[in-house]
A and B are shown apart, each in its own frame.
Chain A
């Protein structure tokens, strides 16, 4: 596919999996900038077949200067699978997961989840209410920066409660029971469940984020550079935790990282991005 004759490219994307994909993303395009007729229509820039003779920068329109951060990304994710997404800085990894979580509005493309309307609805075209439902029930997101995922001035249990309110639970006793269960799972001492995350260390904040993301038992978890900025021992603890959660709950995950060690440890399958395109995809053992 990238023209270098690597045999790994020939492996079928769903090698080893025979079930219906949980998540199917097709030709996801995310452009930053106004866009012009040139960058909209030139297949080279929006993820079509690459012209090997083209000297144009592959993710920036030479006419209007728009950056095409994701340029026709397609992949399937199977139930219980962990998909690692690697790539250099600026390759569109974070933009991709932010788009999947509806933080950024996509320019074009489709996304379906088999648990929602039998996998027939393009979620990028869903209404704001439907997107909120999907964010609260079908997906969890762990951001690189805990300040984006947590309310630092509210209690940790409150952060989890907020997700449960969105799912229609209004019994304080039940909410505290569930919050305690989740925080215990991520090894936060229960006597600190009512402390605000701003009192916690970086690793603990990431763990509170993970428990918040899991509050409504979503089938899909998106992790964006969860271990960046943590020291090695804390990194290892968080990675062990993520592995354990995946094994216990069978939740599918998309793990974004530029750290190949993280990807090697966690993911079943790996997708390599460069300049907004998928340049390589296959089983992790074969890619790395």
Chain B
């Protein structure tokens, strides 16, 4: 309340009331204690639409303090409408600093990408999750998927991978590629590209996943084993950008977006815009 008075804002610090923050933090702690397990939480109504990052936003608002610096990205871009709106909302209701520099941020809220720069132990990555349940593709009932997780009954998911090998001679899942966390829970890493899956394995930073519409929180604590599903003879593979480079910074070791200009010419450029800018200006060492 003091914070609200000091800010002369009609809102509590970081929009949510303290009771809500406490509840979300408690559920977050439970999620950290059981890596990969989806913890149900009472998702609040937010001033943005459900499905537009309310889960991630609630996590961000409940974990930030006054000394934090927040970065918000949408598919790697700091400038997309959604990222800008969420960043403004956080800034207006908390008054804390925001940044576009990954290294400077202590809390990074992201949609569908993990930044190219390696995150460190003082940083928290918060991913927005449209569908937290990796088994939803194979089983409609929530009751059944909960039982499948409890019994580690993941054969139907392996079956979809097998079918993909039978039909296309390769595992064809693009984004949303399921992972096993600590050999226990199957987890949906959100629709990040396969390129980003290995970044979760034994990472130094804490990753939190918030699904506002589906009312679930889950987490990958630092140094946790995260392995993408793969067969012994059909291994997990990242996207290949062999022979391509970013048209702005010349990177050959980053995830590239394909863009087409008005003349129909195709270019490739870094999906992580802040990293691209930094590298183009020669300020970073990269990963």
Residues of A in contact with B (beta carbons under 8 Å apart): 128-129, 132, 151, 154-155, 157-158, 161-163, 165-166, 170-173, 175, 194
Given contacts A165-B155, A165-B159, 11 further A-B contacts (CB under 8 A): A128-B150, A129-B151, A129-B152, A132-B151, A157-B166, A158-B166, A162-B159, A166-B155, A170-B231, A175-B162, A194-B167
For the complex, is B174 an interface residue (Cβ under 8 Å from A)?
A: no
Closest to A128 in B: B151
CB distance from B183 to the nearest CB of A (A): 12
Q: A170-B232, A172-B234, A194-B166 are in contact. Are A154 and B151 (CB under 8 A)?
A: no
Q: A132-B153, A170-B232 are in contact. Are A165 and B163 (CB under 8 A)?
A: no
* Per-residue interface assignment for chain B, residues 133 to 153, with 1 indicating a CB less than 8 Å from any chain A CB and 0 otherwise: 000000000000001001111
Bound-state Cα–Cα, A172 to B235, Å = 11
CB distance from B103 to the nearest CB of A (A): 39
Q: A128-B147, A128-B151 are in contact. Are A172 and B165 (CB under 8 A)?
A: yes
Q: Which residues in window 188-234 of B have CB below 8 A to A? A: 231-234
Closest to A130 in B: B151
Quick check: B166 and A166 within 8 Å, CB to CB?
Answer: no
Closest to A171 in B: B232
For the complex, is B158 an interface residue (Cβ under 8 Å from A)?
A: yes
Quick check: B165 and A162 within 8 Å, CB to CB?
Answer: no
CB-CB under 8 A from B159, the residues of chain A are: 151, 154, 158, 161-162, 165
For the complex, is B156 an interface residue (Cβ under 8 Å from A)?
A: yes
The number of inter-chain residue pairs (CB within 8 angstroms) is 48
CB-CB under 8 A from A173, the residues of chain B are: 233
Bound-state Cα–Cα, A170 to B227, Å = 14
Category for how many chain B residues contact A: 10 to 19
CB distance from B38 to the nearest CB of A (A): 19
Q: A128-B147, A165-B158 are in contact. Are A171 and B233 (CB under 8 A)?
A: yes
CB distance from A13 to the nearest CB of B (A): 35
CB distance from A183 to the nearest CB of B (A): 13
Determine which residue in B150, B154, B158, B167 has the highest number of CB atoms from chain A within 10 A of its CB, and name it.
Answer: B158
Q: Which residues in window 67-109 of B have CB below 8 A to A? A: none
CB-CB under 8 A from A161, the residues of chain B are: 158-159, 162
CB distance from A135 to the nearest CB of B (A): 10
CB distance from B58 to the nearest CB of A (A): 33
CB distance from B155 to the nearest CB of A (A): 4
CB-CB under 8 A from A132, the residues of chain B are: 151, 153
CB distance from B180 to the nearest CB of A (A): 11
Closest to B165 in A: A172
CB distance from B30 to the nearest CB of A (A): 22
Q: A128-B147, A170-B232, A171-B232 are in contact. Are A162 and B166 (CB under 8 A)?
A: no
CB-CB under 8 A from B154, the residues of chain A are: 165
CB distance from B67 to the nearest CB of A (A): 46
CB-CB under 8 A from B234, the residues of chain A are: 172
CB distance from A1 to the nearest CB of B (A): 41
CB-CB under 8 A from B233, the residues of chain A are: 171-173
6 contacts between A and B (CB under 8 A): A129-B151, A154-B163, A155-B166, A162-B158, A172-B231, A173-B233
CB-CB under 8 A from A155, the residues of chain B are: 163, 166
Bound-state Cα–Cα, A129 to B184, Å = 14
CB-CB under 8 A from B167, the residues of chain A are: 194
Specify which of B147, B152, B163 is in contact with A158 (CB 8 Å cutoff). B163
CB-CB under 8 A from A154, the residues of chain B are: 159, 163
CB-CB under 8 A from B153, the residues of chain A are: 132, 166
Determine which residue in B147, B154, B231, B234 has the highest number of CB atoms from chain A within 10 A of its CB, and name it.
Answer: B231
CB distance from B248 to the nearest CB of A (A): 41
CB-CB under 8 A from B165, the residues of chain A are: 172
CB-CB under 8 A from B156, the residues of chain A are: 162
CB-CB under 8 A from B232, the residues of chain A are: 170-172
CB-CB under 8 A from B231, the residues of chain A are: 170-172
